[in-house]
């Protein structure tokens, strides 16, 4: 049996039309949180890519931990991102799963050999996130990471509920 290319589930992400409303519902009605809320845009993210091309885009997002897996809520702030495309085509819902890998570069080689493209990517505070076009094979977009967020990552714009 071949060694798995993905080794761990790190994150589950949902795309929504209103990040703040979704965070409030998760926290107030389901007790899920606290949420760190931030903007990703050309001022906070470097080397933004859509479909293997350099393109700027923006989104508002919130993250929290649920049992050791990060949950992410994403609101597209323009019509350029794959989040905006997803929301227009499918409405709110599960968008991607981020997976751990033993080796980012090896995983990218594997993806390219399979003919997968980088649907979207960027670098935020030392962490490069990459969405791969696995939806036809796996039924969901796979996200992988290279590096880790460092001190250059901006602090959250807000936390909800406030601690």
Residue pointed to by tokens 């470097």? 46
For 90-140, what is each residue's pLDDT tens digit? 999 999 999 999 999 999 999 999 999 999 999 999 999 999 999 999 999
Q: Are 87 and 15 in contact (CB under 8 A)?
A: yes
Predicted local distance difference test score (pLDDT) of residue 17: 98
Predicted local distance difference test score (pLDDT) of residue 2: 76
108 φ, ψ (degrees, to nearest 5): -65, -40
142 pLDDT higher than 70: yes
Rounded (5°) CA angle 41-47-53:
105
Q: Both tokens of residue 124?
A: 């935020």
Domain edges within the chain: 8-160
Q: What does the pLDDT average to over 13-41?
A: 97
Buried b (16+ CB within 10 A) or exposed e, 100-136: ebeeeeebbeebeeeebebbbbbbbeebbbbbbbbbe
Q: In 3D, which of 42, 38, 3, 1 has the Cα closest to residue 20?
A: 38
State the Cα–Cα distance between residues 47 and 30, nearest whole angstrom. Answer: 36
Q: Which of 18-32, 76-90, 140-154 has the lowest mean pLDDT?
A: 140-154
Mean pLDDT of all residues belonging to the chain: 95
1 pLDDT higher than 70: no
- Percentage of the chain lying above the pLDDT 70 cut: 99
Domain 8-160 bears CATH identifier 3.10.180.10:
yes
**Sheet with 46-50, side-by-side order of all strands:** 53-54, 46-50, 118-124, 127-132, 141-146, 93-100, 8-15, 69-76, 59-66, 35-40, 158-160
For 68-80, what is each residue's pLDDT tens digit? 999 999 999 999 9
pTM exceeds cut of 0.75 = yes
Q: DSSP characters for 115-163?
A: T--EEEEEEETTEEEEEE--HHHHSSEEEEEES---TTSPPPSEEES--
């Amino acid at each position: 049996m071949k060694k798995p290319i993905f080794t761990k589930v790190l994150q589950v992400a949902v795309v929504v039309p209103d990040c703040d409303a979704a965070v409030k519902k998760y926290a107030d009605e389901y007790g899920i949180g606290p949420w760190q809320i931030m903007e990703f845009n050309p001022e906070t993210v470097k080397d933004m890519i859509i479909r293997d091309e350099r393109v700027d885009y923006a989104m508002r997002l919130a993250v929290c931990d649920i049992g050791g897996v990060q949950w992410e809520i994403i609101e597209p702030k323009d019509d350029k991102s794959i989040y905006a495309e997803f929301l227009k085509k499918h409405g709110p819902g599960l968008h991607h799963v981020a997976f751990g890998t033993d080796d980012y570069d090896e995983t990218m080689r594997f993806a390219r050999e399979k003919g997968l493209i980088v649907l979207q990517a960027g670098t935020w505070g030392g962490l490069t996130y990459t969405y791969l076009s696995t939806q036809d094979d796996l039924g969901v977009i796979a996200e992988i990471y290279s590096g880790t967020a460092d001190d250059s990552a901006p602090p959250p714009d807000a936390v909800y509920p406030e601690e």
